[in-house]
Amino acid sequence: MKGRGVKLSIGSTVFRNRVFLASGPAGYGTEYADFIRLDRLGGVVTKTITLRPRAGNLGRRLWETNAGLLNSIGLENVGAKAFFAEKLSALAAAGGRPVVSLGAEDWDDYCGLLDAASACTAADVFEINLSCPNVERGGMAVGSDCGLLGKYVRRAVETLEGKTIIAKLTPNVSDVAALAAAAAEAGAHALTAINTVVGAELCPGLRAPVFRRVRAGLSGPAILPVALDAVWKIARAVDIPVIGAGGISSVEDAEKFFAAGASAVQVGTAIFYDPGLPERIAAALAKKGVPGVIGAKSQSREG
């Protein structure tokens, strides 16, 4: 991959470069338009959109750790109807290349969400959040079972025919490479690795958990080694592009993902304290080219 351009093609979509904002921290993207030149990034992955509006979890939602951030947001969002009618066009107007994150807790809602997405001609790239708990399977994350994961990805590929489908994988499994292979076999055009790592924290004094739901998602520098390990394994197991995400807080961190086999990267938690980082990474890639991949099976698709 060394010496190739910084543009990236996934499915039928060409991205201007290999640096994206990750789903979650940037909200709908427009929240950061005054701090980040969205038009200088490859894409902006929106917060996860569900079929109906969600108010999110009650109680505390964020808790800073020594090397990261725990979150228990609960997929708060305006719902598909309002998002596709209002938020999506606002992101595009702000210069962002939209990558719409989709998630659901049961099959019927998921199918309805895909139908709503297919009716929107302004969106052509979707990241499927496979870490959502599936209520029909006792709360098990959709992406923790190869069969269930394949079913969800396959339905997205079929319903959103002609669109670019990216499957976002959970790290909270024993064999992330097997899940990656299942997503690729089901027709995903690319994979994002990883989502947050499950964690918990106790309030000062050790009296009670910080979050009402006890467990939360850990992001930030603490999970960088976990994410690198996942990308390394996945890039050697599949032939589709892998987008590395998890703990990037410097240009060097991003370069580690490319060396591990990623074709692109997503920056998330770091924009809370360093909103200029995504642009610096993009500028560094443009200046010296994308670092070489060490023995990866997957190769980037160039535009």
Burial annotation 88-122 (CB, 10 A radius, 16+ → b, else e): beebbebbbbbbbbbbbbbbebbbbbbebbbebee
Sheet holding 197-200, edge to edge: 62-65, 68-71, 215-219, 197-200
**Out of 111, 120, 132, 146, which one is annotated catalytic?**
132
Cis preceding linkage at 294, omega within 30 = no
Is 132 an active-site residue?
Answer: yes
Work out the burial of residue 66: count CB atoms within 10 Å of its CB; fewer than 13 is exposed, 13-18 middle, 19 or more buried.
Answer: exposed
For 16-73, the three-class secondary structure string (H helix, E strand, C coil) is CCCEEECCCCCCCCHHHCCCCCHHHCCEEECCCECCCCECCCCCCCEEEECCEEEECC
Using the 8-state DSSP alphabet, how is residue 161 labeled?
A: T
* C-beta of residue 26 within 8 angstroms of C-beta of residue 44: yes
What letter would DSSP give residue 76?
-
Catalytic residues, which ones? 132
